[in-house]
Chains A and B, each alone.
Chain A
């Protein structure tokens, strides 16, 4: 029927699929200007899940038009779908004229975003921001949208100050919810929790259905150890827009942390069901739920869940690691030492076979289990690799420290981390001072060697790039140096495209090349 409606609109090419899986497959293969997606796609993904996956996997950009079409008018479904921010949400019945009008309206609104999208696609955020400025100067109809994009780009490159300046300027004119929200998040990131909470509370007072604000209030409460309150806020948000998996999962995890096993198992059961076929389906949900069952004293139910999940995730090694770790716990509780050991071995084997870069959370979970099972040495090897590669990321270091805390050896954890940190800081300082005193070759060699041991350490890569750029000022780089430069740039672009220092260097690099 929709295709019939589109015919008189003289749309170019139309591809049609009748399920979410094929929709995603097509989105990966082609670039579409317009995606019309029914909410109800039968078995498998629904329209909201297709949208979420398309966003997460960058299958659509600022210029794509994604419209969810639906015959559903249930508030829960609408609220949840709208939270994923489709460009429009079209309720049946409608006719071809209305479809046309809506599409034209969105196209008009987005037409001038193409140049921004182009830079973002190339991960050149600085130029994307410059393009925003050019557009803003023209004061177009979608001015606010562009200002909002500009602020989000500053957040991407890690310049929170510039982003917050934009939000504050907007807020001095009018209390637009997205600006309040953005301002609140930056306050949170700057650890001004009280102020952040005030902002979020004001936001939901004027916009009670702005559900993401509730999540942040809950996060602040959790941060301060108020788990009951965190649960309450998440429960309210989940009652307004229930079909948001990360929110439900958070509710389950906070309840679990709070010792409320009943709620945790209830909510996590829902999460497992809701995540099915979506991008949020990961095996970790099942593993956590099994752990809750175990803590409730029902190891049999826990084991059953793990066994069925192992089948479902048989081709996903990361998921299987989580499941094996849960199985390890369960078998210990059931007194099956051999089976427990076997599960842990399986997890370690899977982990060692993962292709680099290995996801941090998987490694942290595994090392925690290893430590619990008495294999501190293997545990620390994994933790060392993680800490080395992510020394610049406080959150990761906190996770590493947490493994030690869990096993009541937090002092050992802090000295473990600080000794790693000392070594690497010393190494970086040495390399930089070598370069500054003109010993570029020695400096290059030092960084190159360091990278073989910690191939993902961002700071070393950045310093390495800096040294190479220093050399480039004087002379053309050798082929091997140029290749090393490119691969370092690519690595950071992929892993930390928003790194502030890196983006500064890239500006310098681009200027140098233009000369």
Chain B
């Protein structure tokens, strides 16, 4: 990469950082408006449109977070910051972050996780994964999302299920590494690419993390599973 390209990508990254922060503020204002609209039935702004606004803003926000992470992984030798934490609290936090969106779309979300389960992982990256999947599911589900976390074969397994019509074949192929992601066909690959490299970054020298996409989930719809090795 030439010097010129380098500085351009740096400008791009710092701009993404900046825009991401603005979007964060925007999202909070939006959520306050939704609260107000919910409280006040003589609203001047229809909740459905607010919800759509929030969904799209969340998508932008998540995409920017992912872009920034991918930039750092590629250019700054990003090393994951593995932090021991309570998995159920972590999942609860992710749900809380998306509660206004799900409420606006009348989606119920549940989680199943042993309260005493602790694991080491990079909070930022895994939050990105779960947020992205929840927002995506909120578009395709028929009203239900389930997050479950447990230990399977020594790995932490987190599943995000919905009761929608499932992932299209192309996505399944991407997610399960049957075909390379082709970014020229549209934007659908970014989320998967992000999840893929973020799980792989969780590496204990012996095993590394991985993802799986399937359509035979517990709620009958699509299910994303991530597997993170023990530290």
Contacts and interface: CB of A to CB of B under 8 A. Distances in A.
A210 to B, nearest CB: 11
Contact of A4 (B32, B78, B93): B32
Nearest to A209: B82
Interface in A36-81: 71, 73, 75, 78-79
A73 B28 contact: no
B23 interface: yes
A394 interface: no
Interface in B29-61: 31-32, 35, 61
Nearest to A8: B35
Contact of B123 (A5, A91, A92): A91
Q: Is the interface of B mostly helix, strand, loop or mixed?
A: helix
A448 B87 CA distance: 62
Contacts of A73: 68-69, 72, 124
A93 interface: yes
A71 B61 CA distance: 13
Given A75-B81, A91-B123, A96 B28 contact: yes
Nearest to A4: B32
A38 to B, nearest CB: 12
Interface stretch (B94-102, B176-184, B207-215): B94-102
Contact of A95 (B79, B82, B97, B123): B97
B17 interface: yes
B54 to A, nearest CB: 11
Contact of A97 (B17, B72, B100, B124): B100
Interface string A90-110: 011111111001100100000
Given A75-B78, A79-B81, A94 B31 contact: no
A148 to B, nearest CB: 15
Contacts of B17: 71
B93 A1 contact: no
Contacts of B96: 95, 97-98, 101
Say which size band chain A's interface belongs to. Answer: 20 to 34
Given A91-B123, A105-B89, A71 B31 contact: no
B170 interface: no
B124 A91 contact: yes
Contacts of A95: 27-28, 31, 96-97, 100
A65 to B, nearest CB: 16
A105 B23 CA distance: 27
B97 to A, nearest CB: 5
Given A94-B97, A101-B96, A5 B89 contact: no
A22 B127 CA distance: 33
Nearest to A99: B96
Across the A-B interface, give the 9 residue pairs with the lowest CB-CB distance, nearest first: A93-B24, A98-B96, A97-B96, A75-B81, A101-B96, A92-B24, A73-B124, A98-B97, A71-B21
Contacts of B97: 94-95, 97-98
Interface of B: 17, 20-21, 23-25, 27-28, 31-32, 35, 61, 68-69, 72, 78-79, 81-83, 89, 92-93, 96-97, 99-100, 123-124, 127
B152 to A, nearest CB: 23
Interface in A15-32: none
B62 to A, nearest CB: 10
Nearest to B93: A98
26 contacts: A4-B32, A8-B35, A71-B17, A71-B20, A71-B24, A73-B124, A75-B79, A75-B81, A91-B123, A92-B24, A93-B20, A93-B21, A93-B24, A93-B61, A95-B27, A95-B97, A95-B100, A96-B32, A97-B97, A97-B99, A97-B100, A98-B96, A98-B97, A101-B96, A102-B93, A105-B89
Interface of A: 1, 4-5, 8, 71, 73, 75, 78-79, 82, 91-98, 101-102, 105, 209
Contacts of A5: 28
A75 B78 CA distance: 8
Given A71-B17, A73-B124, A75-B79, A96 B31 contact: yes
A472 to B, nearest CB: 52
Which of B25, B31, B32 has the most C-beta atoms of chain A within 10 angstroms of its own C-beta?
A: B32
Given A75-B78, A78-B81, A93-B20, 6 more contacts: A1-B25, A71-B17, A75-B79, A95-B100, A96-B32, A105-B89
A400 B78 CA distance: 48
Which of A1, A78, A95, A96 has the most C-beta atoms of chain B within 10 angstroms of its own C-beta?
A: A95
Contacts of A75: 78-79, 81
Contacts of B99: 97
A455 B89 CA distance: 54
B95 to A, nearest CB: 9
Contacts of B28: 1, 4-5, 93, 95-96
B78 A101 contact: no
Contacts of B69: 73
Contacts of A82: 83
B26 to A, nearest CB: 10
Contacts of B21: 71, 92-93
Contacts of A97: 96-97, 99-100
A92 B24 CA distance: 7
Contacts of B81: 75, 78-79, 209
A167 B103 CA distance: 47
A212 B27 CA distance: 39
